[in-house]
């Protein structure tokens, strides 16, 4: 068992976040800063510069919030991949600096696996299918033979990226997903009997995989053809979320598992949560949603996975501590129950 606190550093993309778990692996809320460009998308170099500027304040605040001194930290975990290279390097550099200054072990972890493990910890589920819907990633994942296997995933862009890009086309800055959720709610609030007639979009399911760029172009076309923006937001959510939930349902059917846990920023969306719950209810399964602060990217999930890895004998030497932008979910071996 690790003694003292595990610090987790998340820096795969737009969010720089420090979180903690105690020696029993119990999470504490993260301290995070998110870059929000006023125009355009996330530029990796600008995001990395943002993370550097914010790092001292975030580190001081996470310690102060928890009444800790740097010397109370006994392990430093960080996201080793996948993500944007420049951003990952910033987090890894901060982790190396803190770990060598304090002379404590370093653990590089897999960001996607961290989403699963914080979901399991928060929701108390045993062996779930993870529906991982974030900005850059969209995957349906199940554990089998000591790995989390990707049963289906996006063939092009992540679902959150799709929502953000669609929003940006219509003047809404990053992150667009929450604004689309509000607009969709406004539409359905004013039109409770609304149907998808005239608002049809392409189907995003391709076997067990998904694809979102076609659905985004078609949604843009609906707006330019004169459909109300709110109506298109609603239709976009209905189509895109149904596709994700369908692949998750197939994964349940195929594996015989009985639980789904949602993860990633798009899992903050109430309609996404509702659709997953309805599907699970219909087939006698259980749908779990972690608190929103643990769905979005956060340092606490990195600390939690670092704690698990540490207690199962893994540490990362300096020489192995380089980042891996392309790290796959199933490259990380899972040695804990």
Query: Nearer Cβ to Mg ion, position 161 or 235?
Result: 161
Kind of pairing, strands 106-110 and 73-81? Answer: parallel
Query: Nearer Cβ to ligand AMP, position 104 or 181?
Result: 181
Question: Considering only residues 273-312, where is the footprint of Mg ion by CB under 5 A?
Answer: 297
C-alpha distances (whole Å) from 32 to each of 51, 204, 205, 248, 298 are: 10, 32, 34, 30, 7
Residue pair 301/115 in contact (Cβ under 8 Å)? The answer is yes
121 contact, one of Mg ion, ligand AMP, none, CB 5-8 Å limit per kind: none
Judged by CB under 6 A, does residue 266 bind ligand AMP?
yes
Integer Cα distance of 302 and 108 in angstroms: 9
Catalogue the E-assigned strands of 137-248. 138-144, 147-153, 205-206, 209-210
Query: Nearer Cβ to ligand AMP, position 163 or 245?
Result: 163
Considering just the CA atoms, what is the radius of gyration of the chain in Å?
20
Q: How far is the CB of 138 from ligand AMP (least distance, A)?
A: 10
- Exactly one of 164, 209, 246, 309 binds ligand AMP (CB under 6 A); that residue is 164
Judged by CB under 6 A, does residue 230 bind ligand AMP?
no
Q: Tell me the two tokens of residue 326.
A: 């392309």
Integer Cα distance of 33 and 35 in angstroms: 7
Q: How far is the CB of 222 from ligand AMP (least distance, A)?
A: 19
- Exactly one of 35, 92, 106, 163 binds ligand AMP (CB under 6 A); that residue is 163
Judged by CB under 6 A, does residue 176 bind ligand AMP?
yes
Closest CA to 46 of 33, 57, 37: 37
Residue pair 41/168 in contact (Cβ under 8 Å)? The answer is yes
Judged by CB under 5 A, does residue 164 bind Mg ion?
no
- Exactly one of 8, 27, 135, 290 binds ligand AMP (CB under 6 A); that residue is 135
Q: Tell me the two tokens of residue 241.
A: 């979320």
Question: Considering only residues 277-336, where is the footprint of ligand AMP by CB under 6 A?
Answer: 296-297
Q: Give start and end residues of each alpha helix (H) in 44-84.
A: 44-65
Q: How far is the CB of 335 from ligand AMP (least distance, A)?
A: 25
Query: Nearer Cβ to ligand AMP, position 162 or 199?
Result: 162
Peptide bond into 313 cis (omega under 30): no
Count CB atoms within 10 A of the CB of residue 178.
15
Query: Nearer Cβ to Mg ion, position 117 or 297?
Result: 297
- Exactly one of 54, 117, 153, 181 binds ligand AMP (CB under 6 A); that residue is 181
| Contact residues for Mg ion, defined by CB under 5 A | 134, 297
| Contact residues for ligand AMP, defined by CB under 6 A | 15, 134-135, 160, 163-164, 175-178, 181, 264-266, 268-269, 296-297
């Amino acid at each position: 068992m690790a003694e003292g606190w595990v610090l987790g550093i998340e820096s795969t993309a737009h969010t720089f976040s420090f979180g903690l778990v105690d020696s029993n692996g119990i999470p504490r809320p993260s301290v995070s800063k998110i870059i929000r460009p006023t125009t355009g998308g996330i530029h990796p170099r600008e995001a990395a510069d943002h993370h550097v500027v914010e790092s001292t304040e975030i580190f001081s605040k996470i310690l102060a919030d928890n009444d800790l001194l740097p010397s109370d930290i006994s392990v430093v975990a960080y996201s080793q991949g996948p993500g944007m290279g420049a951003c990952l390097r910033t987090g890894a550099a901060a982790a190396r600096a803190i770990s060598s200054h304090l002379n404590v072990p370093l653990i590089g972890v897999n960001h996607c696996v961290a989403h699963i493990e914080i979901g399991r910890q928060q929701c108390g589920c045993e062996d779930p299918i993870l529906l991982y819907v974030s900005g850059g990633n969209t995957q349906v994942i199940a554990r089998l033979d000591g790995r989390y296997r990707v049963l289906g995933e996006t063939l092009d862009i992540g679902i959150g990226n799709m929502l953000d890009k669609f929003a940006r086309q219509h003047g809404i800055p990053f992150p667009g997903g929450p604004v689309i959720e509000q607009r969709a709610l406004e539409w359905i609030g004013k039109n409770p009997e609304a149907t998808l007639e005239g608002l049809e979009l392409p189907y995003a399911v391709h076997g067990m995989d998904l694809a979102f760029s076609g659905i985004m172009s078609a949604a843009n076309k609906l707006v330019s053809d004169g459909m109300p923006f709110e109506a298109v937001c609603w239709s976009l959510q209905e189509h895109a979320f149904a596709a994700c939930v369908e692949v998750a349902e197939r994964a349940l059917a195929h594996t015989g598992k009985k639980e789904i846990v949602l993860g990633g920023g798009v899992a903050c969306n109430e309609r996404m949560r509702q659709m997953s719950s309805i599907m699970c209810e219909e087939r006698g399964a259980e749908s779990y949603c972690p608190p929103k602060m643990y769905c979005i990217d956060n340092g606490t999930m990195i600390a939690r996975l670092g704690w698990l890895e540490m207690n199962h004998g893994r540490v990362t030497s300096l020489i192995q501590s380089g980042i891996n932008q392309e790290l796959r979910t199933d490259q990380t071996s899972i040695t804990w129950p």
